[in-house]
Amino acid sequence: MDRRGFIGSAATSLALAGCASLPREALAPSAACLPRVTVAESRVIRRVAGLRPYRRAGFVVRTEALGTKRLVHNYGHGGSGITLSWGTSRLAADLGLAGSEGPVAVLGAGIMGLSTARLAQERGRKVTIYTAALPPETTSNIAGGQIKPALLYRGDAVDDAWRAQFAAALEYSWRRFQIMIGDDYGVRWVPTYQEGSGPARMPDNLVHAGQVDIPVDRSPFAGRAVRRFETMYVETGRYLRRMTQDVLTAGGAIEVRAFGSRAEIAGLPESVVFNCTGLGARELFGDDQLIPMRGQLAVLLPQPEIDYAYEFDDGYMFPRPDGLLLGGTYERGEERAETTPEAIARILAAHARINAAGCAS
């Protein structure tokens, strides 16, 4: 199943920019040609794998009592952790901070933990992050960094209340990332090509800004009708380093500590605890709906001339200053965050085929 297949239906009223088909006469032949990714084993600079914390029923943002503490969950984002980080962290902060006071604890130093910590600090709270791993050893560091929901939920497994959370989270994240554009955080706009034409197959028109349809006879990818739209991408290593610095600069503390039980968490001095442990919530809090979804990436030497991204059923490519990310694996139930030679070979072969085709004439 492709990466779009895990997104269910959601309200399209989020749209901030209309989607339109570009008239054929507006597509000059020269606009149809793009520089090609040079795909070769000799250009691979690293091979990475991560485990997406996928839940059929989508992410969890809710509160419960843990002894005398307020425990707020914020986990289970599948392949949409970067995309929804500010939004669900804001929902979690609203739940956790209302009617409470004093320092707060955050479990996890990935994208959710750092975003939640920053939002709590912005509301005047002292924050301590407790984490078993620090960047660059978090799952978030493996993320491709595209601001666009993927591998998030199944439509028949969520209700209207969850959809409302999703809509609010997506909208806030979309706005928050826009004010972080630039080299400081490594966030930038990139034109992206997706296979198909007509209305977008995903319910996130919010991130399909400036969409146009390009017919097969004018396509930059021979034999494929495509839609082109604009969205943001995050250079995750740079972003997580800067977010960690922001937490510390604002007076936050980070303690490297692993928890083995709820009882250990109940012993923390803070009265409000945010659970941002991702896949770790399966063991720590007994959420057996969490399923690891392994993704493998082959990262190529940077090519500065590659200033676009693509995502097709047979593979996706995201350009970043630290390398070209080639992906396309969705291995459900794999427990080991390790690459396999067979999968990397398939990724390279698929992208070689994508980039071998010439421009439409």
pLDDT in tens, 205-262: 455 678 899 999 999 998 899 999 999 999 999 999 999 999 999 999 999 999 999 9
Residue 5 reports pLDDT greater than 50: no
Average pLDDT (278-303) is 97
What residue spans define the domains of the chain?
55-145+236-290
> Over the stretch 200-217, which tens digit does the pLDDT of each residue have?
554 444 556 788 999 999
Determine the Cα–Cα distance for residues 345 and 115; give it in Å rounded to an integer.
Answer: 35
> Over the stretch 170-194, which tens digit does the pLDDT of each residue have?
999 999 999 999 999 999 999 999 9
Determine the Cα–Cα distance for residues 258 and 356; give it in Å rounded to an integer.
Answer: 47
Cβ atoms of 237 and 46 closer than 8 Å: no
Quote the pLDDT of residue 196: 83
Domain 55-145+236-290 sits in which CATH superfamily?
NAD(P)-binding Rossmann-like Domain (3.40.50.720)
Of 82, 146, 79, which is closest to residue 110 (Cα–Cα)? 82
Quote the pLDDT of residue 198: 62
Determine the Cα–Cα distance for residues 151 and 330; give it in Å rounded to an integer.
Answer: 9
CA distances from 204 to 8, 29, 168, 179, 354 (A): 10, 30, 12, 20, 25
Determine the Cα–Cα distance for residues 307 and 293; give it in Å rounded to an integer.
Answer: 28
